[in-house]
DNA sequence: TTCCTAATTGCGAATTATTCTCAACTGCGA
DNA sequence: TCGCAGTTGAGAATAATTCGCAATTAGGAA
């Protein structure tokens, strides 16, 4: 499940952050649309709710939430950069280079990798919302030319 | 080891690609500097060799090599997007979000993940040159503030 | 409740990275 | 050697993100 709104706000308050209406708005949009949202998507939502934030502000708030570890920022390739609240448990995606299809996968896939990295390199990986590119079942069977 | 120049050219010829002087030049630069090269890095090398390619052309050649599966394109975060010939065996990197340190790791780390993805999702992942972000040993011990 | 101030936002320009268009050029098969 | 589809050059265009600074405001202190 995802963070609840109240829990989220509480955690932010604890960290001494100012809860401006702009920040609440972006948080609400992220909480509602439990989806991949681009900056434009978020701006559209802002407008739809009768509000109005600068692009700059949206970028700044997303950056802030990302640095705090509440939001993931992921480049989905063709589909560009998207933001999403990091739920628990986390999830990740397989993205087909040919058809663009996006498959959601659980975090289990990455548990071994995480452990290995920790053990072998004493490195604490932040694998929050990975995009793995490749060829899906359908496209893998066709023979894809390089160009 | 890395692809040899001749082997590489042969493979490209087989695929019916035109081996222009521009393409040879970029290939040679990639072969020599066995390193992460940004587009600017490559342009600098081009100049250093007394030649002169447009940025556009460099982008196009890199895109072409990437699509053919010979070159990886990786976003290293702070350090931007870099290109590198995909060697065999492949390697990947751990990148510290705090100090920016880059650790090279072998491909073994990803073998399990690859198998899982193939088995569980019938998806052929192209894990050529991954960047895993997180905190290195030194930085993990300090307490990092969110901002 | 009011006041104060550091944190945050708005605005618009700047920067950066990448792509596009189209005319000129050229690698390579016939 | 010729012809042309594929490739490059040039420079503008587009898209994404960041910057600088003045105006605003959240939230603690009085
Ligand atoms: Mn997702
Ligand atoms: Mn590398
Ligand atoms: Zn596909
Ligand atoms: Zn570090």
| Helix and strand numbers, DSSP H then E, in chain A | 6, 6
Helix (H, G, I), strand (E, B) or coil at A55: helix
**DSSP-assigned states of every residue in B44-58:** HHHHHTT----HHHH
- Fold for the domain defined by A1-86: Arc Repressor Mutant, subunit A (1.10.10)
What pLDDT score does A147 carry?
A: 33
- Fold for the domain defined by A89-147: Dna Ligase; domain 1 (3.30.1490)
Task: Measure, in angstroms, how far nucleotide C6 C1' is from residue B89 CA.
Answer: 53
What pLDDT score does B110 carry?
A: 97
**DSSP-assigned states of every residue in A2-44:** PPPHHHHHHHHHHTT----HHHHHHHHHHHHS-S-B-HHHHHH
Left, alpha or beta for A122 (phi > 0: left; psi -120 to 50: alpha)? left
What pLDDT score does B7 carry?
A: 87
Give B12-58 pLDDT, tens digit per residue. Answer: 988 888 999 999 999 999 999 878 999 999 999 999 999 999 999 99
CATH 1.10.10.10 in chain B, residue ranges: 1-86
Q: Is residue A145's pLDDT more than 80?
A: no
What pLDDT score does A33 carry?
A: 86
What pLDDT score does B15 carry?
A: 84
Contacts of B47 (CB under 8 A, 6+ apart): none
Query: Is strand C less than 7 A from the beta carbon of A52?
Result: yes
Nearest nucleotide to A38 (CA to C1') is D16
B143 touches chain A (CB under 8 A): no
Give the distance from residue B143's alpha carbon to the nearest chain A alpha carbon, in angstroms: 13
For residues A119-143, give the mean pLDDT: 92
Task: Measure, in angstroms, how far nucleotide D6 C1' is from residue B18 CA.
Answer: 8
Show which positions of strand D are touched by protein (CB under 7 A): 6-12, 16-20, 25-27
Angle at B129 between CA B121 and CA A96, to 5 degrees: 35
Q: Is residue A146's pLDDT more than 80?
A: no
CATH 3.30.1490.190 in chain A, residue ranges: 89-147
Give B84-134 pLDDT, tens digit per residue. Answer: 999 989 999 999 999 999 999 999 999 999 999 999 999 999 999 999 999
């Amino acid at each position: 499940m995802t963070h609840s709104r109240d829990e989220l706000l509480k955690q932010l308050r604890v960290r001494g952050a100012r809860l401006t209406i702009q920040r609440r708005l972006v948080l609400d949009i992220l909480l509602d649309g439990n989806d991949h949202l681009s900056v434009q998507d978020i701006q559209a939502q802002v407008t739809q709710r009768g509000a109005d934030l600068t692009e700059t502000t949206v970028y700044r708030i997303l950056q802030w939430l990302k640095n705090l570890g509440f939001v993931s920022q992921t480049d989905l390739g063709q589909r560009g950069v998207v933001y999403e609240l990091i739920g628990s448990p986390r999830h990740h995606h397989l993205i087909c280079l040919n058809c663009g299809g996006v498959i959601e996968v659980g975090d289990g896939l990455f548990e071994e990798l995480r452990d290995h990295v920790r053990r072998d390199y004493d490195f604490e990986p932040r694998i929050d919302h990975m995009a793995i590119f490749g060829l899906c079942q359908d496209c893998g069977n066709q023979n894809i030319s390089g160009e």
